[in-house]
Structures are given as C-alpha cells and as structure tokens.
Structure 1
Amino acid sequence: MQVTSTTYFPILISAREAEFHPDWVLDRFIPGLAVGYSFGPPFGETMVTWPDLEKMRVSRRTVKRQAEETLYSAMSQLRIHGQPPSLMLSFEGLESTVLLVEEFWNDLAEQVPGELVIGVPARDVVIVTGSGSTAGLEKTRRAVERMFFAGGTQLLMHDLLVWRAGGWVPLPRPEEETTPEIPLPDLDLPEPEPVHTPEPIDQPR
C-alpha cells in the first residue's frame, strides 16, 4: 500500500447533505447522521471521495483509522464553556465531531443531572445538559430551534440526543413521551353479582 502524508479528520454529515454527495466516502453513525472524512488542515472544506481513494491507492479502512488518530490527538484542544444548566463545546469549528469520542462522553455523563443530553444542530455547535434539568432541556431545545429557523449549509440534527449504553439515541420530544401509568390503590370492593344469561326464546314456527 502506498504511504501518504495526507492528514484526514472525521466530519459529521447530515443524511440530507449526504444525498447530494454520493461520491463522498461515508460511514454510518446514527440515524440521520453519517461520518465523512476531510482532507486537511484546514479540515471540513474538502471531503474524501471514492475517486480520491482510487487515485491515492489508499483503503477506506486506512482513511478511517488515520482520521480517528487525528481526532484523538486533537482532543487536548477541546474546551467547555458556560454555566449550568447548559454548556457549550469549543473545538475549532468541528465541535460535532467530538460525538465520536466515547471516553469523553462517559466521563462527562457522570457530571450532569440525570442522563447526558446534547443538542447538535450544526457542525460547529454542541450544547450539553442533563435530562434531570428542565431548564437545561428547554434552553437547549430553544437554541436548536433558533439554529434551524436561521438555516444554514451545515445543519445536522433537529432532535436532541441522549447518551445511553455508550451510544447516542434520539431523546423523545415532550409530545412523544408516553404518560406513565398511575397505579391504583387496592380498594375493598364487593364482588360483582353473577350475570345470568337469559334462556333463548323459541321463535314460533
């Protein structure tokens, strides 16, 4: 295999954006999001395509591995800003890519009330809160709504995501959440009287 000094970096891509770029090298991430790979630096401007792999004689697996190595080595540049009930990530305009770093989220999940919840409306925006913070959830949802209302070319997810069992799943919207069944107390009620079924009446012939 040809050795290349080109540096790659993983980039989160929305399913809608992916439809317009069938030549991009993409891997599935979660429903609605895929992982693409960018040449760089600077990263995020030029995406790796299938013709690029053939031209460079580089495998998809090699690109993915090198991109992950670049991401992990860059994690020292990650910063967290803000105050509870919601926080913001800062990562050189590629904040959403941090969703791929499982260890980071496992650690952060221990520091929020309830389950770890994020809004990732765009490639460069990640808002962090906890499911146990009503104010944090409302603030995060409002921020996501504003981003989608304003529009843009790098929008990602309208739904909030929750960190469960080492992965991201959509957080149900309030109107989608089922009302919990309320257990009724044991009541001392009389037994119902048996119902007697009347005998059928013979019809006249």
Structure 2
Amino acid sequence: MLTVQVTSATFLPILVSPSDRAYSERNVLDEYFDDLAVAYSVGPPYGERLITWADLERIDLSRRDLRRRAANNLDSMLDTVRIHGQPPALMLSFQGLESSLVLADPFWDSLEGSVPGELVIGVPARDVVIMTGSASQAGIAKARRAVDRVFFAGGPHLLVQELLVRRRGDWEVY
C-alpha cells in the first residue's frame, strides 16, 4: 500500500458507497443518506487518495475543520462545472468527480426552475451525473437508462442505482 504524508493540502468532499472495497474504516467517512457517505480527497489531483484518521491526527486537523475546508474548496470550484447535452436530460462535467456536485447546494440552488418540475439526477458512479426534471417523462426515462447502463457495465466507484430528487434543499430517492 502506498503511504502518502499529508502535511498541507486542499480537500474535496467526494460521494462514496461504504460498501465499495476501495474504502475502509481507516478513511474518514461521514454518513450522507441511504448507502452513501462523504469521504474527503486530498489534492489536487482529487479522487486518487482519501483522507484517513491517521492523516487528520498527523496534520492536527479536526473533522469539523476538514468538512469546512472541503466544502469551501468545492464551492470555490463550482465555476468549472460544465453542463452538456440537450434536454430532456443533461450531463454534468466536473473533473471526473461529478458526484461531488451532489454536495454543492449553491450549484443546485442556481439550477432551480431550469428544468420542468423538480430537479432529478442519476448518480450511478463517482464520475457520472445526469440531470433532468420530474415533469419530463422522456428525461426520467433517459436518466434511468443511463444509470442502468453504468451499473450493467460495472466498474469502479458505483454509487446509486435509484434516481434522486431535490426537495426543500435535500436529496431523496425519487
């Protein structure tokens, strides 16, 4: 196992599935909802190395400060998000860590009203987010197909097979 000494870095929150074998009790994981947790990546580049409890102790950083620094860093990177495709369903692009956007409330707040109905997303893997509106049956069908294809193909860092809907500022299963 590669050991990296973390002394000074920036952090990014990343959605993970606690059942993913890439993570263990050594990693700092915060429950999010259902079978999702928030892990913290050190970077850049982000996504290659997750913060462990030993890292926090070594750099004398509290869990609360880690959360705050990661959230602030995510917010500062939101101007790099790109939206691709045509309605009824759109793909998000965010440096291969698209699922981190689920945690970016200011981003989703800015998109309220931009799709027909409530915001609905598919987040089948760490690097895939597809967005549509709850009032678009074609968009919902396209998002479901995209999620199913990702799960059928398998691969690393699978997350959620269900679609999620944003209600009152929170995500829940659609």
* 3-state DSSP of counterpart to 1:23: coil
- Describe the superposition over 1:83-132 as per-residue Cα deviations: whole angstroms up to 9, x where unpaired: 10000101000111011111221221211111110000011110000111
After superposition, residues 52-131 of structure 1 pair within 5 angstroms as 52-131=55-134
From the superposition, tell whether residues 143 and 127 of structure 1 become closer, same or farther in structure 2 (CA, over 3 Å). Answer: same
Gapped regions of structure 1 (runs ≥ 5): 172-205
1:22 matches 2:25 = yes
From the superposition, tell whether residues 19 and 41 of structure 1 become closer, same or farther in structure 2 (CA, over 3 Å). Answer: closer
Please give the alpha-carbon distance, in whole angstroms, between the structure 2 residues aligned to 1:36 and 1:18: 14
* 3-state DSSP of counterpart to 1:16: coil
- Greater CA deviation, 36-45 or 9-18? 9-18
Q: Which residue of 2 aligns with 1:186?
A: none
* 3-state DSSP of counterpart to 1:110: coil
1:6 matches 2:9 = yes
Question: Which residue identity lines up with residue 154 of structure 1 in the other structure?
Answer: H
Alignment root-mean-square deviation, CA: 1.4
Q: Which residue of 2 aligns with 1:145?
A: 148
Please give the alpha-carbon distance, in whole angstroms, between the structure 1 residues aligned to 2:114 and 2:21: 34
User: Deviating runs (4+, > 2 A) in structure 1?
Assistant: none
Question: Which residue identity lines up with residue 31 of structure 2 in the other structure?
Answer: R
Task: Tell me how far 1:5 sits from its aligned partner.
Answer: 3.0
Q: Percent identity?
A: 55
- Describe the superposition over 1:24-67 as per-residue Cα deviations: whole angstroms up to 9, x where unpaired: 10112121111100111110111101111112221111111111
Gapped regions of structure 2 (runs ≥ 5): 1-6
* 3-state DSSP of counterpart to 1:37: strand
Please give the alpha-carbon distance, in whole angstroms, between the structure 1 residues aligned to 2:59 and 2:52: 11
Pick 1 or 2: higher relative contact order, CA cutoff 8 A, min separation 6.
2
From the superposition, tell whether residues 102 and 132 of structure 1 become closer, same or farther in structure 2 (CA, over 3 Å). Answer: same
Q: Which has the larger radius of gyration?
A: 1
* 3-state DSSP of counterpart to 1:111: coil
Number of equivalences:
168
Calculate the TM-score normalised by the size of structure 2.
0.92
From the superposition, tell whether residues 20 and 71 of structure 1 become closer, same or farther in structure 2 (CA, over 3 Å). Answer: closer
From the superposition, tell whether residues 18 and 64 of structure 1 become closer, same or farther in structure 2 (CA, over 3 Å). Answer: farther
